Amino acid sequence: MESKERKIAVHLDNVVVDYEVFADKHLTLRRLAAQGFSGRESTMVHALKGVTNTIFEGEIIGVVGANGSGKSTLLSVIAGLLPPNLGSVRVRSQPALLGVNAALKPELSGHRNIEIGALAMGLKMDEISNQLEEIEKFTELGEALARPMRTYSSGMRARLAFSIATVRTPEILLIDEALAVGDKKFREKSLNRIREMQAEAGTIVMVTHNLGEIRKTCSRALWIDEGVLRKDGEVSEVLSAYEETEST
Amino acid sequence: MNNPSESFNVDDLIEPGYHGSLFTYSKKIWERREYLSQVPRHELRSQQMGTLLGNVWHLLNPILSITVYALIFGVILQVDRGVSNFVSFVAIGVFVFSFTQKAVTTGSQSIIKNRGLIRSISFPRALLPITSVTTELLAFIPGLMVMFATCLVTGANPKWSWLLIPVLILVQFILSIGAALIAARATSLYGDVKNILPFLFRLLFYGSGVLFSVDAYVTNDLLQKLFIANPMFDILEIYRWAILGGQVSYSEVLALAIWTILLFSIGVSWFRRGEAAYGI
């Protein structure tokens, strides 16, 4: 551990998240009469079953796990989008979440989405116009920025979303598979941007199935398995343990 | 992993997605006032995208609707009992009522329609319903112009009490924000609200005397009290009094004031209680 006074960026204390999922059945009058309003059939999904972890400033955490293991839920909880049913989450500053399907306003152009996203973050119009050129250049979307965002491919959406999320450099950035859909060049560029952020004591938590990316970028890895934190530690250690079970 | 020299003091950390006390929350909305001034303009413009006349429709719509009402109620049906300037009477009723109706209806959709924004960026979510109401306030301006033009053309004289109109608009704006905040959270919890709102507003439409004079038609004492208890009836009465003259009672002013304070404070506190989960 390099410095003695490392500051905590994210603290998760026994976080439990249960989803209530309603059965996809036609709600008929007869069924309604039989069950009453409270009787909508639902099942509980235990997405996180008590996760405890502390993430420090300057760390880049890679999160691995099978599909449906609770990785995305973990990021939503850290971002404050999903209140935990039990336990607590504390952060040093409000994290920015970068999801794979992030489209702010699909019917509006890329330009407008940048503008609206920045305004919602609390930037002023003149700050935005000062940065606009730089942001637009970073997206490399060129003329596509004038088209509605719903016409974008997932890779193009990811470019735009990454650029918006980093307009005001967040101290904590959560990335949910968002880079995977980008092409190689953009991924390289984004990873460079992430390393720059780390150098400025930023904290990054990234969920990805690209283990090579984690090896190259991350300082620590977490393995989530069926809502439980199965392993936490050195990247190589966690990944080889994860790969072992995956290949069997 | 965690060695002993690291401090585990989490007291100076914050809860993610939590925007602080009511004061901090309001401050954060105020910091985003440029969102409130920019986005409504985009929304109005995009509503008329793909039309030949574009933004002219925002003015043409109220002109056409007032023409229809004048034709049907002033010429064909002749229900202008107890009202001297019926066309102006209806114009005020229709435009003032539809401002609140549209504000609450679009406001109720503001959370579910902006899930993408909510999931990507952290900001006080009340900004969204307030933006919807501001959009409709902006759309109300051409309606107001048509309303005053109608009044002048049909022989109403300018009065000092016209100066009270901005105050009335502000009161109506605050009332609508309160109702929109409630409708937005209710819709995010129960999709059913979307089906109920149109009926609620149709009931309010007839219960507010938009198209007829309640004083002339309703003589039952209890019914009259029920009308006064309806804030939309009160606000129409006060608008009409301020623009056309006539009478307004203290109980109407009082009822409107109580409703405005009640809806706004309940709206703000109830909406904020759902703040953490609007992204789900």
Which residues of chain B have a CB within 8 Å of the CB of A79?
A: 16-17, 122, 279
> pLDDT per residue over B81-111, tens digit each?
667 788 889 899 999 999 999 999 999 999 9
Q: Which of B145, B141, B135, B142 is nearest to B56 (CA)?
A: B142
Structure tokens given for B106: 């679009």
Which residues of chain A have a CB within 8 Å of the CB of B5?
A: 1, 4-5
Q: Which of A21, A168, A19, A156 is nearest to A83 (CA)?
A: A19
Contact A11 B31 (CB under 8 A): no
Count of helix runs (H) and strand runs (E) in chain B:
12, 0
Residue B6 has pLDDT above 60, yes or no: no
> pLDDT: is B36 or A5 the higher one?
B36
Q: Which of A72, A91, A96 is nearest to A82 (CA)?
A: A72
Which residues of chain A have a CB within 8 Å of the CB of B111?
A: none
Contact A122 B31 (CB under 8 A): yes
Instruction: Name B21's Cβ contacts closer than 8 Å, sequence gap at least 6.
Output: none
CA–CA gap between residue B152 and residue B244 (Å, rounded) = 10
Looking at residue A101, its pLDDT comes to 60
Which residues of chain A have a CB within 8 Å of the CB of B280?
A: 81-82
How near does any CA of chain A get to the CA of B266, in Å?
Answer: 23
> pLDDT per residue over A198-234, tens digit each?
788 789 999 988 898 899 889 999 999 999 999 999 9
> pLDDT per residue over A59-115, tens digit each?
999 999 998 899 989 998 999 888 899 999 999 988 888 876 666 788 888 988 999
> pLDDT: is B106 or B18 the higher one?
B106
Q: With pLDDT > 90 as the criterion, what percentage of chain B qualifies?
A: 59
- For B12, which residue in chain A has the nearest alpha carbon? A92
Any chain B CB within 8 A of the CB of A137? no
Which residues of chain A have a CB within 8 Å of the CB of B117?
A: 104-105, 116-117, 120
pTM for the structure as a whole:
0.87
Q: Can you say whether the dihedral through the CA atoms of A72, A73, A74, A75 is positive or negative? A: positive
From A83, A90, A125, residue closest to B13, measured CB to CB: A90
- Residue A4: pLDDT band (50, 70, 90) is low
Q: Which CATH architecture has domain A8-103+169-247?
A: 3-Layer(aba) Sandwich (3.40)
How near does any CA of chain A get to the CA of B2, in Å?
Answer: 8
How near does any CA of chain B get to the CA of A214, in Å?
Answer: 18
Write down the domain spans for chain A. 8-103+169-247, 105-151
> pLDDT per residue over B227-239, tens digit each?
899 999 999 999 9
Instruction: State the average pLDDT over residues B159-167.
Output: 94
Instruction: State the average pLDDT over residues B211-218.
Output: 82
